[in-house]
């Protein structure tokens, strides 16, 4: 996980792709470097990994206004036991969005 830390932020779409090994501190810093108005609803400990934080729901200071971190996840790429890469399109909308 330590090497899976890439962060790609699209300010125009207000979205980001974040690999599971990145820390919340790295994510916050990357957002701050690209925008003065965008943020991310997550916890306050900068050394927590994004993958663990999201899979645990993502409690943070902006919870009451923006919901849990997981409430803001639009898509994910997962690897199943057979090595297939799965995303929202291959698993269906309900799997990611929980509808």
pTM for the whole structure:
0.82
Residue 97 banded pLDDT, cuts 50, 70, 90: low
Comparing 9 with 96, the larger pLDDT belongs to 9
Is 99 part of a structural domain of the chain?
no
Q: Is the dihedral of CA 56, 5, 72, 84 positive or negative?
A: negative
Question: Is 94 inside a domain boundary?
Answer: no
For residue range 52-67, what is the model confidence (pLDDT) as tens digits? 998 889 998 888 988 9
In-domain check, residue 34: yes
Task: Quote the domain boundaries for residue 49.
Answer: 7-73
Cα–Cα distance between 94 and 52 in angstroms, integer?
Answer: 21
The CATH number covering residue 22 comes to 3.30.465.10
The total number of structural domains that make up the chain: 1
Q: Report the percent of the chain where pLDDT is more than 90.
A: 46
Asked if residue 95 belongs to a domain, the reply is no
């Amino acid at each position: 996980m330590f090497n899976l830390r890439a962060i790609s932020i699209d300010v125009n779409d207000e979205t980001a792709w974040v690999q599971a090994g990145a820390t919340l501190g790295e994510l916050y810093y990357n957002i701050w470097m690209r925008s003065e108005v965008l943020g991310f609803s997550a916890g306050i400990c900068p050394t927590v990994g994004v993958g663990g934080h999201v899979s645990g729901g993502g409690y943070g200071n902006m919870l009451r206004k923006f919901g849990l971190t997981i409430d803001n996840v639009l898509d994910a790429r997962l690897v199943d036991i057979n090595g297939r890469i799965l995303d929202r399109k291959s698993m269906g909308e309900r799997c990611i969005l929980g509808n």
